[in-house]
Amino acid sequence: MRRTAWSAGCVAAACGLSAGAFARSGDCVSWVDPPGDAVVRRTDAGNDGPIMPGATLPDVVRVSLCAWQPTDPVADPYTGTTIDPDDAHLFRLDAVFVGVVNPPGPLGFSGQPYDPFRHGPSPVIGFLDIDVDSKNTGGELGSAARSRYLANVARFGRLPYGSISERVARSAFDYDWDFATPPHYERTGADFALVFCGCWGLTIVSEGGDGNGVFEAGETWIVRGRLFQRTNGYQEASSAWGGSAFGTYDPYVNVRFSHDQDSDETTITLVFALDMTGASMLTGQAEQPINYNVGDHVSIVEALSDVIDGADAGGLSEPAWELIKGWRGRDPYDYLDPTDWEVTALFGMPYTEQQAGATFVWTDSGMGECHGDLNANGYATGADKTLLRDAVYDLDGGEQDADGVINGRVVVVDPGPNFSLFDLNGDTVVNLDDFRVYGKPADFDGNGVVNTLDFIAFLNAWVAGDPAADFDLNQVVNTLDFIAFLNEWVQG
């Protein structure tokens, strides 16, 4: 249903990434995302909300999941070795970002102040979703679904490989409040997530460095909060208690932020229990039975047992039943191998000032999508260029075109809250400039070189009135197309 080792490798090769875009060893699974692809994608009305000058744009470049055995689980769960997943009681999650990014302060939810820069000028906001069963179980409901991966990845001009792409919102025109209507971006497939939403203030457990309360280069901190959560789409079926609300499984956990000056990367690390033995190891206490109390020992197996009990009991309403019914009759111990899990990532930053109706500025998604891959086959090719051209023709002058004129330019309506998959360069207009993702527009024969052969090929198409010669995309082949092509061709 999602990406496989083979398909992710194809994505890597097609997008010019390293061949290790997806890698599985015996003890770990890892993904890479290209560095330097972070861009600003606002969500506020007006598309001009202020962001912190000089802040590091969160740019995730690696994620890994490992079966883990710490040397001293209580005192230092982050030092240890990877082990065979069959023998593991704990897992380790690492998410690596370019530059210095710091823990977020609160974003004004639940009576908290708006103080996102409490711990530094570059707070990381977002969600690393984890799918433990590679199925369509799990997801978010209501407005929460609009802040997750499937509802926002198209802002970056990319789709994830495979059938999951069918659930991606191509624009805000795909947003509605009806779970039953496609695209089903609410059905994220995620069962758990590493969450940096600024929903609560964080407790600093330990602060390396100069102790000034600001996370800086070379420092290592451990912060505590409700930073690892089971997907909230399971809440109606859950008997969990002791979390932020009845039915939520969002325990307080410790997360490490560590910046390495040599690589100039910040690594965010979580060590969490797979089973109740692992929970005992992390606390140094006697092993507790599964009791669905989020306030004491917690683990993946306890969270899944709760979900399975809810699914087996039945009697749930839609849409909660749709998200959970696939767990009926399962054994939670079948899903404790972190090397079988899959991830998607959506990260960003806060505004410097609170914005009405908008919380996040998105900057990066992952793992392993191709920029410009519009047919979700793992490649950005001429076939995608054709889809882009078709999109301009279909949308130009219609309700999704703010200028309402057929002129080869689709102007995004209400940019910020709205977006378009086809706006590949993020300038809020879909036009010839977006084709530059695939190479130089004047490379008419598509061989990667602009030369006389391109001029001859275009001229022949133009004289014949071939639609391919509609260079300015206004759905008419005329002298303006010739002039537009010539200008591009002269520039090489």
Instruction: Give the pLDDT of residue 469.
Output: 93
Angstrom CA distances, 94 to 255, 266, 339, 341, stand at 10, 10, 13, 14
Paired with 266 in beta bridges are 97, 259
- Distance CA(307)–CA(288), nearest Å, equals 19
Complete DSSP assignment for 219-233: -EEEEEES-EEE-GG
Q: Which residue has the tokens 């969990």?
A: 240
Instruction: Give the pLDDT of residue 13.
Output: 37
Q: What is the pLDDT of residues 84-141, one digit of tens each?
A: 999 999 999 999 999 999 999 999 998 899 999 999 999 999 999 999 998 889 999 9
Residue 458, pLDDT > 80, answer: yes
* 388, 158 contact by CB (below 8 A): no
The pLDDT mean for the chain works out to: 93
Instruction: Give the pLDDT of residue 21.
Output: 63
- Distance CA(163)–CA(155), nearest Å, equals 19
- Distance CA(471)–CA(486), nearest Å, equals 10
Task: 468-475: list long-range contacts, CB under 8 Å, 24+ apart.
Answer: 471/432, 471/441, 472/408, 472/432, 473/389, 473/392, 473/393, 473/396, 473/408, 473/409, 473/431, 473/432, 474/396, 474/406, 474/407, 474/408, 475/393, 475/396, 475/406, 475/408
Q: What is the pLDDT of residues 223-274, one digit of tens each?
A: 999 999 999 999 999 999 999 999 999 999 999 999 999 999 999 999 999 9
Angstrom CA distances, 382 to 12, 158, 435, 441, stand at 18, 15, 10, 12
- Distance CA(202)–CA(180), nearest Å, equals 37
Q: How wide is the angle at C-alpha 154 spanned by C-alphas 150 and 160, nearest 5°?
A: 65
Residues 6+ apart with CB under 8 A from 86: 337
Residue 298, pLDDT > 90, answer: yes
pLDDT confidence tier of residue 8, bands split at 50, 70 and 90: very low
Q: Which residue has the tokens 């890597």?
A: 12
For the chain, the distance separating the N- and C-terminal CA atoms, rounded to the nearest angstrom, is 43
Instruction: Give the pLDDT of residue 466.
Output: 93
Instruction: Give the pLDDT of residue 25.
Output: 79
Q: Tell me the mean pLDDT in the region 17-40.
A: 80
Residue 1, pLDDT > 80, answer: no
Nearest to residue 337, comparing CAs of 311, 303, 301, 306? Answer: 301
* 49, 350 contact by CB (below 8 A): no
Q: Tell me the mean pLDDT in the region 178-184.
A: 93
pLDDT confidence tier of residue 435, bands split at 50, 70 and 90: very high
* 381, 367 contact by CB (below 8 A): no
Q: Tell me the mean pLDDT in the region 330-335.
A: 98
* 126, 360 contact by CB (below 8 A): yes
Per cent of the chain over pLDDT 90 is: 87
Q: Please give the torsion angle defined by the CA atoms of residues 235, 240, 241 and 245, in that order, rounded to the nearest 10 degrees.
A: -10
Residue 5, pLDDT > 50, answer: no
Structure tokens at 276: 């109740």
Q: Tell me the mean pLDDT in the region 150-168.
A: 94
Residue 56: count of CB within 10 angstroms of its CB: 22
Residue 473, pLDDT > 70, answer: yes
- Positive/negative CA dihedral, 107, 53, 423, 10: negative
